[in-house]
Homo-oligomer: A and B are copies of this chain.
Amino acid sequence: MASDNRASKIRIALDAMGGDHGPTVVIPAAELALTRHPDLSFSFYGDEAVIAPLLATRPRLQAVSSVHHTDVAIRMDDKPSHALRYGRKKSSMWLAIDAINKGEADATVSAGNTGALMAMARFCLRTLAEIDRPAIAALWPTLRGESIVLDVGASIGADSNALIDMAVMGAAMARIVLGVERPTVGLLNVGVEEVKGLEMVREAGRILRETSLPDLTYHGFVEGDDLGKGTVDVVVTEGFAGNIALKTAEGTAKQIASYLRSAMSRTLMARIGYLFARGAFQALREKLDPNRVNGGVFLGLNGIVIKSHGGANAEGYAAAIDLAYDMVKQELMTKITESLSFDHRAVMAAASNPDAA
């Protein structure tokens, strides 16, 4: 690994063919991110015939980019098993991930299909020694700013140990993204009392209460409405409930936006009011724009993989690249590894002592 190169540049591998728009979004996004972070460099994986012309008109980006041609691209509706079968070692998605393994990239970003991306990332990078189930951490806009919510769909049916690992990894990520020294962590549950909820959540709560982990402050249980309030910095949940919470929130936001649109066009007075308040509505639209906060971080693997929304525009995809940049620059992997090795000893002791509850 060329560590001096690494010190000078943050190297991002991009699956240029992933997402609904492919290179027409990925390349302008890289250009945007580069203006914000001049120490970025890029390797693009995908169809050179499409990528090269888009780079040619962007000399500044081209100067820090390499292109790696492949004809194989994973489709958005491919099943993970199918994608692995035909896309392993040759698809743009695989090659972008494998660049980390080869020491040619510090992080990978893809807007390709989540299931295939996670399957390939697990297969190619492997999970960290301490981790059984990787997780996907999402940034969640709240009334107080942003929180980190994990897992939003990778660890279906995760147990209490996996929840504790997520607490530790989510807190490491929060230190970087939110800039807080000791993030607060809550477990998503159906009530705040200790007796409530699923056994695995109660057990994880007990262990987190009893082991004072050095890098986080355990807040206790939080409920679904605490997500939008921003009650804690990190919300931990098993992937099934987390995915449903994420999609329910997205759906509710769209539903209310639709109500608002129809209310504002219903009467002449409302339409006049809309004209006056256009700036305010624009601000609201930006606030609710899924491109503003974009990027699911895969945690628990030997490498940093970021999933962009499939439908993200260039601004949205650039936000995912920014996220990858921050994770590398502020050494997410080191922070996670350090936290995990300490926490695992403390947690083991508590887990083996259930009667202390």
Contacts and interface: CB of A to CB of B under 8 A. Distances in A.
Contacts of A355: none
A244 interface: yes
Interface in A227-276: 227-229, 237, 239-241, 243-260, 263-264, 266-267, 269-270, 272-276
A223 interface: yes
A161 to B, nearest CB: 18
A283 B258 contact: no
Contact of A229 (B115, B142, B255): B255
Contacts of A250: 224-225
A226 interface: yes
B240 A263 contact: no
B224 A246 contact: yes
A280 interface: yes
Contacts of A270: 276-277, 279-280
Could you say how many copies of this chain the assembly holds? 2
Query: Interface majority SS on A: helix, strand, loop or mixed?
Result: helix
Interface string A189-208: 01101010111000000000
A157 interface: yes
A136 to B, nearest CB: 11
A67 interface: no
A86 interface: no
5 contacts: A143-B255, A227-B248, A253-B256, A259-B288, A273-B273
Interface of A: 79, 115, 142-143, 153, 156-157, 188, 190-191, 193, 195, 197-199, 223-229, 237, 239-241, 243-260, 263-264, 266-267, 269-270, 272-281, 283-284, 287-288
